Structure 1
């Protein structure tokens, strides 16, 4: 019995030291990110026109919109999946632009430090569709999906900004579902448009902060039956952690198909700190902080081979959720309006 208690006491001490060390690490990392975010000066990307070999002026999210919609596609080692997704996306956009002259677009591909031919593939599309419609941001080294999307959002020109994955898992035409709901919510929120009436000041859609989240929640039952076991485990566990960290509101935070008005993106992506898998949860948290209306809309989705999510993603997810909880709840992460 004495040996048992000695062993139990030793394990308790080791566990206590581990927990204390983990909490201390999270607090220190949260503090470090608060300092780096405060002192960080954005280095704007350089958009190059491969046809003229000249640099193109770089916009910022604080500027007025120049396009109707911007599509931001983060890409990390997507040499094989990116061409098909871009073909489908640009065919849709070109077809819609041909029917509606007011529909202007840009596609921003953010190469997150790829080691394969992603850069070459992206530049081929820039050459084909011109730098006015397709642009490439090179991050140099891998930062994470969240940082890649943040960078694309900060240097986009659209009234509406859509983030979507490079694998084409969601049909790009589903953006109309999110777009229509944003317009409907904006119409209820306040008047917007290009002119004034009855002496009231009206706003463009870009001026009304709204976030629309594509959702696969309606596919959950089918997914449980067809997905690999570890992805179901990740999904259920992650839902619980999200509920604890950000609260209820959005059932599927991790769908890579989300649309924001320019006003919403300006508030969200100038404050976001998480760089990898959990940045979506931080977006929900920030939407609640700013009282930005959130809409969850079912989209068509299919699982594409080559997903970057695996069992090794779990520690990173838990780490980032811990950082977010400590950072915001202690006030170390300041939110700027």
Structure 2
């Protein structure tokens, strides 16, 4: 973007605003803390932000908690954009993007497994490398996982290894869901992705590689949820394997 200064055309700095998309389902206990941590992180770093909460009809009162958070932080910072029922992670992001006003989108889990303290590093990495995507990685540098038993660690490592071997994605953590995207890049990827559930995150990176988008990585510590139950089960594992084979056959 250019502007005229003293008769000369100079490059104007483009203001960056970050929209955090928080899909929720039964996160009443976790939501107040993750929102407080997000607000603190953005205010300390001086970056403009908004938090878009996409609740899929939680029966535990998550939406009521979100409404209270709007009163605390303001409707310009907290946007509640609920849906009637669970419709899948990918569609939740599409729904959230319709209401997001930032030119960068941050996606993360609302269960405190992703700590907002890493977001300033995401932003710094994006600016330094002018990346289209910055992905949090548990499998590089000082990244890691805390709170998982050996079985779940093996499942995660195995899923990531299979993906690396079959798809050559150009990123070290394919199944993670803590990322920063240019908004227009995320929109284009959404148009091409067909997966649902846990395969969705993997397909996003694979499609990004196909389209030539640049990907930066930031090591993160993943911490198992503090409150509530994990939504990973046998059906999700079977769906992941089917989705992996589909991507292998079509990419």
Whether 2:118 is the aligned partner of 1:174: answer yes
- The CA deviation at 1:166 is 0.3
What SS is found at the alignment partner of 2:221? coil
Change (3 A) 1:221 1:213: closer
Give the structure 2 partner of residue 300 of structure 1: 221
* 8 Å Cα contact 2:22/2:107 also seen in 1: yes
What SS is found at the alignment partner of 1:70? strand
Give the structure 2 partner of residue 82 of structure 1: 31
Gaps of 5+ in 1: 1-64, 187-208, 330-337
Higher radius of gyration, 1 or 2 = 1
Give the structure 2 partner of residue 121 of structure 1: 65
1:131 to 75, 82, 105: 75
Q: How many residues align?
A: 236
1:71 to 20, 28, 35: 20
Change (3 A) 1:157 1:223: closer
Give the structure 2 partner of residue 91 of structure 1: 40
Q: Which runs of 4+ in 1 moved over 3 A?
A: 218-224, 322-326
Structural RMSD (CA): 2.6
* 8 Å Cα contact 1:246/1:281 also seen in 2: no
Distance 1:83 1:162 in 2: 18
Distance 1:308 1:171 in 2: 19
Gaps of 5+ in 2: 1-13
Distance 2:16 2:157 in 1: 39
- The CA deviation at 1:220 is 9.1
Give the structure 2 partner of residue 50 of structure 1: none
- Whichever structure has more helix as a proportion of its residues is 1
* 8 Å Cα contact 2:28/2:60 also seen in 1: yes
Q: TM-score, normalised by structure 1?
A: 0.63
What SS is found at the alignment partner of 2:230? coil
Distance 1:84 1:219 in 2: 27
Whether 2:164 is the aligned partner of 1:215: answer no
Q: TM-score, normalised by structure 2?
A: 0.83
Change (3 A) 1:67 1:132: farther
